[in-house]
Amino acid sequence: MKKVANNTTGKQLIKQHNKLTHSENIKVVSHVQREAGDWVINTLMIENIEVAFKYKRKKHYRNLQGQRVNITYYPSEQLIAGFNVEVMSVVRVKVS
């Protein structure tokens, strides 16, 4: 009997959801984690990109600063101090 993997690759996600973008082997220059209620909000800044990449987890994640990652995300907007700011909502992040 064959085992079916539950992990979905970034490329498979893009086939299912056309608004997603998948980038590979990109360098994280900053990784900040802050608690918000029961969640830990993670914000990544990527080399040569001026938009923040955000995702949340239930627990703190290891620091990704300086790491190269594969990331699947979609563009979004967030209201901060009365201004709409573009952010990337991360669906999947994996150290490459």
- Judge contact between 90 and 54, C-beta under 8 A: yes
pLDDT in tens, 61-74: 889 999 999 999 99
Residue 43 lies in a domain: yes
Q: What's this model's pTM, rounded to 2 decimal places?
A: 0.78
pLDDT of residue 6: 44
Tell me if 30 is assigned to some domain: yes
pLDDT of 3:
35
- Considering the domain boundaries, does residue 1 fall inside one? no
In angstroms, rounded to a whole number, what is the distance separating the alpha carbons of residues 78 and 71? 20
Q: Is the per-residue pLDDT at 1 higher than 90? A: no
Is residue 37 one of the residues assigned to a domain?
A: yes
Residue 90 confidence (pLDDT) above 80: yes
**The domain that contains 69 carries what CATH number?**
2.40.50
Q: How many domains are there within the chain? A: 1
Q: Are 59 and 40 in contact (CB under 8 A)?
A: yes
Range of the domain at 46: 10-95
Q: Is the pLDDT confidence value at 11 over 70?
A: no
- Has residue 3 been placed in a domain? no
